[in-house]
Structure 1
Amino acid sequence: MNPGFDEGDFKKARGMLLSFSSVLIAIWFFGADFKSMSVLGTKIAFTQNTQHIWLVALAVNSYFLLRFYQHSPGASYSDNKIYKNTFESFLIKSTRRLKKGEMKEDFFRNLNKLGGQGSENYKLDIVRESLSIVNNPNEQRKFIRGIAWVAKFHIRGDYRNSDATEIKLTPATEFSYPCSYWLIVLAIYRAKVLANVKTSLGTEYTMPYLWSGWATAICISQWLAVNSIDLN
């Protein structure tokens, strides 16, 4: 959290940003006249440089956006329980599905080393699963900065010794599988979306940025249109 955070200033900055952005969006959507305004009951009409009104609105909106950023407490997704639980759960379940065949092969390869044979009607049982982080300096990844996620599964199953017909249950053995990079990226974005939907993170922190971004896009497009500037 920002060491200079003040909840009162944060709420004011958020309120001003949302209010001004909402006014800009409403003016654009309903086609209101942006060439005059009323101050303390006195109507003021703009007569010069009216083609740059949207540019001025963009500057003011950018100022409110900067104030909101400065007074934001700097909320982190890593501190959000919904994000953490959703990310880890999705990564573990997806890796379990993707590595199902490989798990089976690794399990019986381990049995062969121990002198055992799989039973005819065997069933593998995952008794525990977890996720861990391994620092990998050789991987410079965009989102995780060289940190690799590894899914760990403790598996047990039926087996029999080569000289016996009695079916036994193996003790749980740990098997580790590095998570695919594309799966990590998918898990990150999925967890962020759900964290914004299920907690106040979305309405208090993310929504003002999105709302202001929409207003900014409107200001730029309207200013370009009024001044007949073709970017093509």
Structure 2
Amino acid sequence: MGDTDTPDFNKARGFLIGFSVVVLMLWFFGADMTRFKLLGNEVYLRENVLHVWGVIGLSNFYLWLRFFQRIPKRGLRFDEQMHTLLDECLITVCRLRDKGKAFKAAALDAESDGDKLVKLKMTGYLPYRTQLEEEKDRGEYAPTGPWDYRFPNRARVEFTLTRTINSEGRVGFSHGGSGHESNPSKTLYRATVLYVFVKGAIVHSWFTDNIWPLLIGGVATVLALTNWLKINHFFLG
């Protein structure tokens, strides 16, 4: 039982999830809390039976608190994997939103040279990544990662354009020239972050490592304490 108070993050998470799942099962199936098995022996409770759920709730809260205290720095914020996913989604969203506008502008440029634009390829990147690389040697004032950038700089996307041109009946490629800058609105940015949160919770471990244990532990604690309050008639339920 000494390992219950371990400073190890993974063990703290394991104890919280394991105990919380048991609490949720006891609550869901309406278990008889006056008797249970301990080390293979049947144990019957005779005193303070009305406070069993209170003890369980406080125990679960202790495990929740110990896990919370051991979450790594910035553990509750997007990690590098989640920010990379956000970068990809921002590029895709901005490309879909601005493709028609960029094509129209490129087509007008081509017409001014007597050519016809056949196809336009947009390759996006986020300028803050370049800034992050350039400023990494600033010592204590240097940004430590994408999490140090905020809207609107965090959301700005620049596209390099590759044009397929029909010039005098011959089709060729045109690189460089004017690119295209996209600045999504705060509403669109927040919607993209929300989408990334949901998708990232499925495809990456950040959510299940840091957020999910807090949620399941919090729910189990609240349910246990609510049961205790109901049993002791602190409020009608």
| TM-score, normalization by structure 1 | 0.70
3-state SS of paired residue (2:127): strand
Partner Cα separation in structure 2 for residue 97 and residue 127 of structure 1: 10
Query: Are 2:156 and 1:150 aligned?
Result: yes
Query: Which residue number in structure 2 is paired with residue 56 of structure 1?
Result: 55
Code of the residue aligned with 2:85 in structure 1: it is T
Between stretches 213-222 and 59-68, larger displacement belongs to 213-222
**1:16-68 CA distance string (max 9 Å, x none):** 21222122112112211223456664735243471x43333222211111101
Determine helix, strand or coil for the equivalent of 2:8. helix
SS of the counterpart of 2:33? coil
Q: Secondary structure at the match of 1:133?
A: helix
- 1:92-111 → structure 2 map (5 Å cutoff): 92-110=91-109
- Measured at CA, do residues 170 and 11 of structure 1 come closer, stay the same or move farther in structure 2, by a change above 3 Å? closer
Q: Secondary structure at the match of 1:77?
A: coil
The alignment partner of 1:125 has SS state of strand
1:128 aligns with 2:123: yes
1:217 is paired with a residue whose SS is: helix
TM-score, length-scaled by structure 2? 0.69
1:178 aligns with 2:173: no
Q: Does 1:34 align with 2:39?
A: no
Residue equivalent to 2:80: 79
Q: Note the residue ranges of structure 2 that are not aligned, 5 or more in a row.
A: 1-5, 132-148
- Deviation track 1:105-153 (CA, whole Å, cap 9, x = no partner) reads 33245557xx43552xx32322532123399xxxxxxxx7444311212
- Whole-angstrom distance in 2 between the partners of 1:46 and 1:107: 82
Gaps of 5+ in 1: 1-6, 136-143
Structure-2 change in CA distance of 1:146 and 1:203 (3 Å): closer
Residue type of the alignment partner of 1:70 = Q
Give the structure 2 partner of residue 140 of structure 1.
Answer: none
SS in 2 for 1:99: helix
* CA displacement at 1:91 relative to structure 2: 1.4
CA shift, 1:212, in A, is 0.8
Q: Partners in 1 of 2:71 and 2:17 — Cα distance?
A: 14
Deviation at 1:166, TM superposition (A): 6.8
Provide the C-alpha distance between the structure 2 equivalents of 1:198 and 1:212, rounded to a whole number of angstroms.
Answer: 22
Root-mean-square deviation (CA), in Å?
3.4
Q: 1:28 is aligned with what amino acid?
A: W
The C-alpha deviation readout for 1:65-98, integer Å capped at 9, x for no partner, is: 1101112234453322xx2332222211121111
Q: Which residue of 1 aligns with 2:113?
A: 116
- 1:198-221 CA-partner distances (Å, limit 9, x unpaired): 343344333322221221232244
Closer/same/farther in 2, CA of residues 57 and 129 from structure 1, 3 Å limit: same
Residue pair 1:131, 1:151 contacting (<8 A) in 2 also = yes
Distance in 2 of aligned mates of 1:170 and 1:15: 56
User: Alpha-carbon deviation of 1:183?
Assistant: 2.8
Give the Å deviation of 1:175: 0.9
Q: Which residue of 2 aligns with 1:187?
A: 192
The corresponding residue for 2:235 is 229
1:154 alignment partner AA: T
- Asked if 1:45 is matched to 2:51, the reply is no
Residue 3 of structure 1: aligned partner: none
- The 8 Å contact of residues 35 and 42 in structure 2, kept in 1 or not, is answered as no
1:213 is aligned to 218
- Give the ranges of 4+ consecutive aligned residues of structure 1 lying more than 6 Å apart after TM superposition: none
Q: Relative CO higher for 1 or 2, CA cutoff 8 Å, sep ≥ 6?
A: 2
